[in-house]
Structure 1
C-alpha cells in the first residue's frame, strides 16, 4: 500500500484547498480519501509522509504539437504568425531519426514536468509510436486544412484515411485555423464531427492579421497565400472577426477548444457564448509571447466566465513543454488566484478531453497524478513558485 501523503496545502481542485490535508491511496495508487488534518487524526492514519509545499493533481496540456519538437530554437522570436507559419513549412524536411528522438525527448520531459494527459495536434502519423508507448494519455487532433472550396470533399476523404493510420488511439479530425479552412470544408467537417463526436480544437485569433483577413481581406495572410502559391481571388471577406465568421459553422453540441485567443475581444466572447454552449478557451502564453509578443486579455476572459485550459504549443514556439512555467507567466501578468490557475491546468482540461473519470482532481476512485509544487504566501495569497516534483 502507498503511504498517505500530506502537505502544507492540498488542492483537490474539485473542492477548496485543504491546509495540512492528507491523501490516502490503495496499492495501485488510486485515491481512497481526501482528509483534513483533524479527520486524519480521528482515523488514526499512520506513516503519513509530509511535504513542505502544495500538492496538486497532474497537469493536462490541452494544446501541443509533438511532431514539431525537432524545431526547438530553429525559428526566431517575435516574427508574427504569418511569417512563423512560413518558417515551419520551410523547416519541415528534417532527418527522420532526429525528429523521432526529439519527440521521444519531449514526451519524457512532459511526464517529468507533471503532465498526465495531452491534447496533441497532428498532421501526419509520425507521433503514433510515441503515443502507443507513452506514460501519458494522448488525444490526437488530426488537422484538416484547405482553402479551395471545390476541394473540400476530396480533402476530407484523404484525412479520414490518415485518421485510420492511428488505429485505436483517441483521435478527432479538426479544423486547423479559420484562415486555412474554407467554409465548404468547415461544413463537411461539421457533418462528420456531428456523426463521430468530438472533442474539436481550432487555432483562434492568434494574430491581428487573422481578423484583418476576415474583416477586410488585408494583412500578412495575403503574403502567406502568395508564398503557398494559392490564388484566393474568389475569397470575399465577411466583414466580421474570424471567430464571428466561422464559429456558427461548428456543431454547438460538441466540446470545442479555441486555442490562443490573443486577439479575442469581449464582443467576440459574448458572441461565442450566444452560438456555442460547449466552448473551452485554451491559453498558451509563452508561445504567444514567442510569436506575437502579446498575451490574451485574460482579465476579460475571467470576467466573461469562460472555461479556460492551458497548453504549451510546440517547441517551435516555446523553450519547454512545461505547464507550470505557463502558469508562472500568467501569474506574473495577471492577478489570477492559484486555485483558478490550477483548475485551468487540471480539471478544465480533463473535462474538455472527456477524461475526468481518472484525471483532473483529487477524488476517491481517481488516479490523477500527484505533483508537489513550491509556493510562497504573500499578503495572504498563495503564489506558485517554479519548483515541481512529480510524486505519482
Structure 2
C-alpha cells in the first residue's frame, strides 16, 4: 500500500500540538495510519509550512443564503439585518443554485469536512447530494403563532423529507432534523411540536444575539416589533414571562436533545450558569457555537467567549452565512477568536476540529488524527489567515 508522509511547521492532532519532530502518515486516500518520529518515518517526507490539522468543522452555516453575499451592508444592527434578509432574499432559482455551488466549493477547498447547515427550504439539496462534505441539515421552522403551529410545522416537515430523499443516494453520512429558528420566531405550541419530533436528535437555535431578545420576553416590547410588522403583526405574539429569552424557551425541551446555542452574543453569566444547570437536570447536552465574524459584520460585537470557557462549556465554531460574513472560512473564524479573546491557538484549534466533530457526533471518523479515521488533512497558516485542503 502506498503512503504519504507529512511534516509541517506544527502538527495538531485534534487534541493538542505534537512534538515538532513528528510525522503524520496516511494512505493516498487520507486514511490515518500513524504519527511517528522523523527517524521512524523514513524517506519521501512532504514538508509543509504552517499548521497541519484534521479537517475543519463548521457547526453553523446557512448555505442557502449564499446569493446574499454583499447584498446587506455590514454594521446595520441585527434587527435591520433580519428585516433585510426577509425582504431581499428573493432571487431567480438559477442564481441561487450558482451561488450555493460556489460557496460549497469554497468551503471544501479551504478544508471544511462537515457542516451544521440551516435551511428554510430544500434549495441546497441538489448540491449536497454531490458534495464531499458531511451535512447535518437543520431544517429551520418559523411559526409565530399557536394557531398556525401545526400547519407550519407540517410544511417544514415536508421540506425535511425532501432533503432526506435527495441525500439518500449520497455516499457520505448525512442527517436532517427539524429545529426552531429563534426565540423571537417560534410559538409555544410550535416549540412543543419540535420537542416531540426531535427525541435524542441534534438541533439548534439562535440565542441572545441582541438585547431586544430578552426585552421581548421580559416586557413584550422592544425592537423586534419592527420585524413583526413585516409579517403583519402590531404586537408581540409571544407570552411575557418576565425572564430572559433562554430561560423562557429552553424549558420547552426535555427529550434528550443535543442543542446548539448559536451566537450567544449577549448571554450574561447568570444565564450560562442557569442553562448548564437546566441541561444537566433534564438530560440535554448544550453546545455553544460562536460565529464571531458574523457578529462583527452585523453588530460589530464579540460574544464573551471567556465566560463560556470559565464555565466549562462545550464550544465550537461556525461561519454563519454569506448574508452576514465576508467569507465562509473557519480559519478566519479562528483568527478572529485569536484576535478578540485570550484563548490559545491550541484551544481554538480544538473548537474547529475535535470538539466540532464530537458536537456533531461524527468523531468516529472526523476531528482527529487517529488510526483508521479519514478526517481530511488541512494546512492552516500559522496566523490563521487561511487554510487549504491537502487530502
Same fold by TM-score greater than 0.5? yes
Counterpart residue number, 1:253? 256
Counterpart residue number, 1:323? 330
Partner secondary structure for residue 3 of structure 1 = strand
Asked whether the equivalents of residues 358 and 366 of structure 1 are also in contact (C-alpha less than 8 Å), the reply is: yes
Asked whether the equivalents of residues 176 and 202 of structure 1 are also in contact (C-alpha less than 8 Å), the reply is: yes
Instruction: Confirm or deny that 1:83 pairs with 2:80.
Output: yes
**CA deviation digits over 1:297-321, x for unaligned, max 9?**
0111111111111000000011100
Counterpart residue number, 2:291? 284
Counterpart residue number, 1:310? 317
Counterpart residue number, 1:229? 232
Partner secondary structure for residue 101 of structure 2 = helix
Asked whether the equivalents of residues 9 and 21 of structure 1 are also in contact (C-alpha less than 8 Å), the reply is: no
Counterpart residue number, 2:25? 24
Q: CA deviation at 1:333?
A: 1.0
Asked whether the equivalents of residues 118 and 139 of structure 1 are also in contact (C-alpha less than 8 Å), the reply is: yes
Q: Structure 1 residues 355 and 233 mapped into 2: Cα distance closer, same or farther (>3 Å)? A: closer
Structure 1 residue runs without a partner (length 5+) = 376-383
Counterpart residue number, 1:269? 272
Greater mean alpha carbon deviation, residues 264-273 or residues 92-101:
92-101
Taking the TM superposition and a 5 Å limit, the aligned residue runs for 1:108-123 are 108-123=105-120
**CA deviation digits over 1:248-273, x for unaligned, max 9?**
11236211100000001110110011
- Find 1:358's aligned residue among 354, 362, 365: 365
Instruction: Confirm or deny that 1:165 pairs with 2:162.
Output: yes
Q: What RMSD, in angstroms, separates the aligned Cα atoms of the two structures? A: 1.5
Counterpart residue number, 2:10? 9
Taking the TM superposition and a 5 Å limit, the aligned residue runs for 1:206-245 are 206-232=209-235, 235-245=238-248
Counterpart residue number, 1:391? 390
Rounded Cα–Cα distance in structure 2 between residues aligned with 1:298 and 1:315: 23
Rounded Cα–Cα distance in structure 2 between residues aligned with 1:44 and 1:288: 44
Rounded Cα–Cα distance in structure 2 between residues aligned with 1:76 and 1:47: 49
Instruction: Confirm or deny that 1:139 pairs with 2:136.
Output: yes
Q: CA deviation at 1:44?
A: 5.1
Partner secondary structure for residue 147 of structure 2 = helix
Greater mean alpha carbon deviation, residues 316-325 or residues 212-221:
212-221
Asked whether the equivalents of residues 119 and 139 of structure 1 are also in contact (C-alpha less than 8 Å), the reply is: yes
Counterpart residue number, 1:56? 53
Q: Structure 1 residues 282 and 33 mapped into 2: Cα distance closer, same or farther (>3 Å)? A: same
Partner secondary structure for residue 52 of structure 1 = strand
Q: CA deviation at 1:15?
A: 4.5
Asked whether the equivalents of residues 334 and 384 of structure 2 are also in contact (C-alpha less than 8 Å), the reply is: no
Rounded Cα–Cα distance in structure 2 between residues aligned with 1:233 and 1:341: 39
Asked whether the equivalents of residues 10 and 20 of structure 1 are also in contact (C-alpha less than 8 Å), the reply is: no
Greater mean alpha carbon deviation, residues 173-182 or residues 221-230:
221-230
Q: CA deviation at 1:292?
A: 1.3
Q: Structure 1 residues 353 and 385 mapped into 2: Cα distance closer, same or farther (>3 Å)? A: closer
Rounded Cα–Cα distance in structure 2 between residues aligned with 1:275 and 1:80: 31
Taking the TM superposition and a 5 Å limit, the aligned residue runs for 1:164-183 are 164-166=161-163, 167=165, 168=168, 169-183=174-188
Rounded Cα–Cα distance in structure 2 between residues aligned with 1:233 and 1:246: 15
Structure 2 residue runs without a partner (length 5+) = 169-173
Q: TM-score, normalised by structure 2?
A: 0.93
Counterpart residue number, 2:171? none
Counterpart residue number, 1:193? 198
Counterpart residue number, 1:34? 35
Q: CA deviation at 1:27?
A: 4.1
Q: CA deviation at 1:28?
A: 2.9
Figure out how many residues of one structure are paired with residues of the other and give that number: 378
Q: TM-score, normalised by structure 1?
A: 0.93
Rounded Cα–Cα distance in structure 2 between residues aligned with 1:44 and 1:296: 43
Rounded Cα–Cα distance in structure 1 between residues aligned with 2:45 and 2:294: 40
